[in-house]
Structure formats: structure tokens, C-alpha cells
């Protein structure tokens, strides 16, 4: 008898593999996401659907998933010196990282809306962020920072004229050399120092003017993200106060700038991305805007990077839910598929509702970016950017933990995607301003811009007659917001209520009835504990779970 060479053909065969789901790969991450497709159309980027579908297919390939695993299994390495003892200050990445970066840059995720500012361009890019982060969120750091620096650079016309055309190139050039010799450019930033964290006014890095808007920077940064970018926006103390600076890796004469990488951070997640500690030893830089006006420049940049924190988390949440629903649709226990068992169906449906709400809200914010010339949209964006960043990112951690539990023990194993998703979730809550910072920003926005709260109420108004639960919730939250006593101590509760009201209004107006009903009955109509699957009352959990399936079971 012929023998195939496999041990399970012989007398010592122990088992065949049964009751395991097929791999979730080789599918279109955009076309299979109903909530994302609908949001793209609703927010004015329907014209981008063909390109988004092509990108969704490319990102959803099994080979692209594998690149994400490889990039995390082979994290970046700091090469501080060459073999002769000369400073090198380079970071070496695995080829998988470069392949993933190539895909994102070629798709214009870094600067597409600025290079081609048609209506809906920021919404189309937002959808690409949600798709990209589902496979590997580590590459989003340099992509997001490059996106965020463009408005700040435009405040300095000479820098804008010189560097924006390079930033707008859709070519990823990994070579470590001056940007004048490269076919593409990316930018990072360096703000945080040991003594201050989010308190940027305590920054101790000194900027010594040397004439013609040029400076020498001396000091340190505790977090210097994506150190292989071609240039950075950094904050330093100039004679007139905190000032924003453009800091390139190479000086205009082609020499390596004195940006000394001290070490790479050993992070919980986001491991494929390099985050470093750095010292500036008289590093050459140019000012961006007037001396003493650096913090407003940085805050402007943060408005865009905080949007990406919400979008990135929405993508991670969608992938976690996709993995959970896919598993439950193919796995059986006690002679029934998991998805058919009522308690599990409730959990899956609740996770799916969270994903729908995150997508609807973060894409609505992207729409406000597209329409920021409208005063009402600008007011909505001003208040809701920190609120959405706070809430969507905070909920991501809970979603990842519950979705991992759906898979059981295998979900805790590194061979699956779930541990990486779980580790990735907290970073978007922490970076670009932690939860307390975001909530305090919301309070400041309400105090300084009274029209901002009016814009939120106007957003909610069209949905109020459609659901009594939403009406009651909004009325109660409005009463809380009018009470100005101890607002700082109550800030988290106030922001949570504000976000849930807007999410509820969006879902009542635009989502299928089953989704809107489940959201209102769980988040708005009861004393909600945040536990997934604990609906009070009947909801159409099966319809919700099936809508969340990335591919038919």
C-alpha cells in the first residue's frame, strides 16, 4: 500500500481536525462591512467606493495578514553606532513592515485628502484607516503623524512650499538619506518629556536662535515616535516661550542631524512600530509659526491625530468582532453552533452594536473634518474630537477582552490575532492625550465656545422624535450639563453621556432598526453596567450578529 508520509495515515493516528473555523482571510474588508459602507456613502464619499473596495481586498489577503504577524514577531532594532564606533542612529525594520507601509502610502492614507481635497476626501481616507488597522495598527503611527502635520506646516509658507509636495507623493521611500534625494517623505513628532507628559508647558528642551528662523535644539524627548521619519515637529523653549519646530533627520548640507536615539521603548503593544527616547545635541531646526505660539500649533496637529485614534480603534474593534462572530458561526458546542445559542448570540450582538456605534461616530467626525468650513461643523468637531477619542478608545479595551473570550482558550494564543488586538487597544487611549486630558478638553471647549454644545444638540435633534428612550436620555444629560458645580470631577460621566447621546441619534437615524433598538435599550434606557450581552428586554440579536459576519457562514 502506498504511504503518504503523514503520521496520521498509520496505526498511530490519533485524530482528525474537526469543529474548527476556516481561516478568516482573503476577503474584502470594506465591502463586507455594512456599517462602514453606509457611513462612507452618508458622509459624502460614495465616489470612493470602488477604490476602497480594491484596497479592502488587498488588505484582506491572507498574505497581508501574515505580514502583520511577521512585523510583530520581528520588532524594530536600534542601530546606534556603526562598526567603527561612529553614530548611526538608525532603526532597522523587518521587510514585512516596509511592505505594509508601502500599501498604506500608495493608497494615500498619509496625505491623500490634502493632496486631492475633493469633497469627502477625509471620509474616504478615514475608511482606509479603519481597514488598515484591522491588519496591523503599528504602521498607523507614522501615517497619522504625516497626515496631522500638514495644517501646521501650512502656517509656515516657506516650509509648506518646500516640503508639502514631497509629503504628497504616494511613494514609500525607506532609504535613510536627505529628503532631497528621496521620492517620498514621512513626518513624525516629539513632544513628551520625562518631567511633563501631557503638560507641554513644562518642556525643558531649549531652542537657541541662530538667525533666519533657524535654531539649535538641546534637550530630550521621552517619547519620540517613528524615529525613521524624514522630519519631525517638536516643541522646545525659545526665548519667547514654547515654540514649534521643524526638525529634519539631515541638515540642509546633507549631514546627519544631531538627533541621538538613546533606546527604543519596550511597549505592551504596537510592537512593530518604533517608539524611542532621544536627545538633541545642538540639533538644527526651523521654527513653525511665531515664537511662543508652539502649543496652539501642536493642538492643531492633535485635532487630526486624535481623529485617527478613534478611527484606528474603530478598525481594531471591527476586526475583533469579525473574528468573534466568524468563530461562533463555525464552532459548535453541545450540538449547536455557538452563534445559535441565545446567550452567545446576545454577546455577539452587543459587541456588534459597539462596533457599529464606533464606526458611525468616528466617520461622522471625519465628515466634520471635510466640512470644517461650515461653522456648525467646525463647532461639532471642536467639541466632539476629544469626546469621541475618549469614549471610542476606552470601549475598545472592553471589546477586545470580550471578543477574545468568545474564542475561548485559543483566543489567548499568539497564533491567533486576538492577543495582538487586545494589546493594541490601550495605546489609542493613552497617546495623543489620555482619558482625563480628553474630558478636560471637552469642558474647555464648552466653556470657550458656547456654540459647540448647540451644534451637538442640533446633531441630536432630528432623531429625538423617533425614540422615546433617546429623548429621555438626552433630556437627563442636558440637565447634567447645565449644572456647573464640580464639572471637573464629573467630567467623565458628562462626556460619556454626551457621546452616547450622539451615538444613539446616529444609529436611530441611520442604522437598521435592530441595531438602534439594541443600542437604546442597553445604553440609554437602563442603568447600564457596560457588560456585553446583558440586554434588558428582547432584541433581534440574531439579525445583528448576522449583519456583523465578515463572510457568510
Q: Give the mean model confidence (pLDDT) for residues 507-521.
A: 98
Residues 397 and 107: their CA atoms lie apart, in Å, by 28
Confidence of residue 5 (pLDDT cuts 50, 70, 90): very low
- DSSP 8-state symbol, 286: E
Residue with cell 468563530: 327
The fraction of the chain above a pLDDT of 70, given in percent, is: 98
The pLDDT assigned to 8 comes to 54
CATH topology for 297-548 is Butyryl-CoA Dehydrogenase, subunit A; domain 3 (1.20.140)
The pLDDT assigned to 65 comes to 97
Q: Give the mean model confidence (pLDDT) for residues 234-242.
A: 96
The pLDDT assigned to 1 comes to 38
Given a cut of 70, is residue 386 above it in pLDDT? yes
Query: Tens digit of pLDDT for each residue in 189-223?
Result: 998 898 877 777 788 999 999 999 999 999 999 99
CATH topology for 187-293 is Butyryl-CoA Dehydrogenase, subunit A; domain 2 (2.40.110)
Given a cut of 60, is residue 3 above it in pLDDT? no
The pLDDT assigned to 2 comes to 44
Given a cut of 50, is residue 364 above it in pLDDT? yes
The pLDDT assigned to 198 comes to 75
Confidence of residue 527 (pLDDT cuts 50, 70, 90): confident
User: In sequence order, what E strands does 265-378 have?
Assistant: 275-288, 332-333, 336-337
Residues 457 and 302: their CA atoms lie apart, in Å, by 25
Query: Tens digit of pLDDT for each residue in 29-40?
Result: 999 999 999 999
Query: Tens digit of pLDDT for each residue in 180-190?
Result: 999 999 999 99
Mean pLDDT of the chain: 95
Higher pLDDT, 246 or 482: 246
Q: How far is CA 468 from CA 226, 239, 512, 517, in A?
A: 48, 58, 17, 11
Confidence of residue 14 (pLDDT cuts 50, 70, 90): confident
Burial 290-324 (b: 16+ CB within 10 A, else e): bbebbbebbebbbbbbbbbbbbbbbbbbbbbbbbb
Given a cut of 70, is residue 352 above it in pLDDT? yes
- Residue 153 · residue 159 · CB < 8 Å: yes
Query: Tens digit of pLDDT for each residue in 286-297?
Result: 999 999 999 888
Amino acid at each position: 500500500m502506498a504511504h503518504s508520509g503523514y503520521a496520521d495515515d498509520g496505526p498511530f493516528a490519533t485524530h482528525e481536525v474537526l469543529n474548527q473555523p476556516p481561516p478568516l482571510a482573503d476577503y474584502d474588508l470594506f465591502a463586507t462591512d455594512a456599517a462602514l459602507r453606509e457611513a462612507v456613502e452618508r458622509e459624502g464619499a460614495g465616489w470612493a467606493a470602488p477604490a476602497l473596495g480594491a484596497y479592502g481586498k488587498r488588505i484582506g489577503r491572507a498574505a497581508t495578514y501574515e505580514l502583520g504577524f511577521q512585523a510583530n514577531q520581528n520588532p524594530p532594532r536600534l542601530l546606534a553606532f556603526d562598526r567603527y564606533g561612529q553614530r548611526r542612529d538608525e532603526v532597522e525594520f523587518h521587510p514585512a513592515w516596509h511592505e505594509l507601509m508601502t500599501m498604506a502610502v500608495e493608497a494615500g492614507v498619509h496625505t491623500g485628502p490634502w493632496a486631492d481635497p475633493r469633497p469627502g476626501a477625509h471620509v474616504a481616507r478615514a475608511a482606509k484607516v479603519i481597514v488598515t488597522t484591522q491588519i496591523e495598527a503599528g504602521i498607523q503611527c507614522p501615517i497619522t503623524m504625516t497626515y496631522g502635520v500638514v495644517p501646521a506646516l501650512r502656517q509656515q509658507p516657506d516650509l509648506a512650499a518646500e516640503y508639502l509636495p514631497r509629503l504628497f507623493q504616494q511613494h514609500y521611500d525607506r532609504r535613510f538619506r536627505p529628503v532631497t534625494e528621496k521620492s517620498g517623505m514621512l513626518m513624525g513628532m516629539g513632544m513628551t518629556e520625562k518631567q511633563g507628559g501631557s503638560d507641554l508647558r513644562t518642556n525643558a528642551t531649549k531652542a537657541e536662535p541662530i538667525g533666519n528662523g533657524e535654531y539649535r535644539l538641546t534637550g530630550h524627548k521621552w517619547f519620540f515616535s517613528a524615529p525613521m521619519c524624514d522630519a519631525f515637529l517638536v516643541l522646545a523653549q525659545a526665548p519667547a516661550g514654547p515654540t514649534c519646530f521643524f526638525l529634519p533627520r539631515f541638515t540642509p548640507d546633507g549631514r546627519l542631524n544631531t538627533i541621538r536615539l538613546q533606546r527604543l521603548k519596550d511597549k505592551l503593544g504596537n510592537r512593530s512600530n518604533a517608539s524611542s527616547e532621544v536627545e538633541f545635541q545642538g540639533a538644527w531646526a526651523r521654527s513653525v509659526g511665531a515664537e511662543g505660539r508652539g502649543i496652539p500649533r501642536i493642538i492643531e496637529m492633535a485635532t487630526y491625530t486624535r481623529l485617527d485614534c478613534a478611527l484606528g480603534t474603530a478598525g481594531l474593534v471591527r476586526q475583533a468582532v469579525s473574528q468573534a462572530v466568524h468563530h461562533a458561526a463555525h464552532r459548535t458546542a453541545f450540538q449547536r453552533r455557538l452563534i445559535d445559542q441565545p446567550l452567545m448570540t446576545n454577546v455577539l450582538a452587543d459587541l456588534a452594536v459597539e462596533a457599529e456605534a464606533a464606526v458611525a461616530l468616528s466617520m461622522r467626525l471625519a465628515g466634520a473634518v471635510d466640512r470644517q468650513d461650515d461653522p456648525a461643523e467646525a463647532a461639532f468637531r471642536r467639541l466632539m474630537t476629544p469626546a469621541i477619542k475618549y469614549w471610542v478608545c476606552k470601549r475598545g479595551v472592553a471589546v477586545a477582552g470580550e471578543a477574545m473570550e468568545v474564542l475561548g482558550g485559543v483566543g489567548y494564543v499568539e497564533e491567533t490575532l486576538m492577543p495582538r488586538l487586545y494589546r493594541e487597544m490601550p495605546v489609542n487611549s493613552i497617546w495623543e492625550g489620555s482619558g482625563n486630558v480628553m474630558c478636560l478638553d471637552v469642558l474647555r471647549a464648552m466653556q470657550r465656545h458656547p456654540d459647540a454644545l448647540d451644534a451637538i444638540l442640533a446633531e441630536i435633534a432630528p432623531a429625538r422624535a423617533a425614540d422615546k428612550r433617546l429623548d429621555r436620555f438626552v433630556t437627563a444629560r442636558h440637565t447634567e450639563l447645565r449644572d456647573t458645580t464640580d464639572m471637573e470631577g464629573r467630567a467623565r460621566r458628562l462626556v460619556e453621556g454626551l457621546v452616547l447621546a450622539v451615538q444613539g441619534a446616529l444609529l436611530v437615524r441611520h442604522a437598521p432598526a435592530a441595531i438602534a433598538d439594541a443600542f437604546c435599550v442597553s445604553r440609554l434606557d437602563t442603568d447600564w453596567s457596560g457588560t456585553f450581552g446583558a440586554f434588558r428586554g428582547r432584541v433581534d440579536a440574531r439579525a445583528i450578529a448576522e449583519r456583523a459576519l465578515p463572510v457568510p457562514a
